[in-house]
A = this chain, B = another copy of it.
Amino acid sequence: MDDPLLRLANDVRLTVQQLSRRVRFEGSSELAPHQFSVLAKLWHEPRTPGDLAELERVTPPSMTRTVAGLVDGGLIERIPHPGDGRQRLLTLTEDGRAVVQRIMRDRDDWMLKRLETLSVVERRELARAIEILKKVLA
């Protein structure tokens, strides 16, 4: 741990993980994490169960179960796949879309409150750093 870059890596990792944890814990929690994660992935476009299973790194039977719960809750709907009768497309219902929006907004609000304590200079520095972290993610 004498390498300065390794120390920075450790620092970034711990801070990012702690922050992420706090957002999840202290934000809204009306849905289980895996349910919300699936719901959020349907925000931009409908997807098939197999598609979701791969994205969530879960087996197809597990996704079947998760999907069934969300369908029961009225948050998503199963519609026929236009080109392939074996597949089905999952799409957000109006309720489902509202839930996703509300949870995201709650989390953003939590973060917003924290950022409000920062000075203008700090906000600018943070904005710059996020661009760097995005690069790290790419």
| Residues of chain A having any CB pair with chain B under 8 Å | 3, 5-6, 8-13, 15-25, 57, 104, 107-109, 111-112, 114-118, 122-123, 125-130, 132-137
Contacts and interface: CB of A to CB of B under 8 A. Distances in A.
Contacts of A126: 8, 12, 129, 132-133
In the complex, the count of this chain's copies comes to 2
Contact of A12 (B21, B111, B137): B111
Contacts of A112: 3, 5-6, 9
Interface of A is mostly: helix
B19 A108 contact: no
Nearest to A127: B8
18 contacts: A5-B115, A5-B123, A6-B112, A8-B123, A9-B114, A10-B104, A13-B107, A16-B19, A16-B20, A16-B23, A17-B20, A20-B20, A118-B132, A122-B132, A126-B129, A126-B133, A129-B129, A129-B130
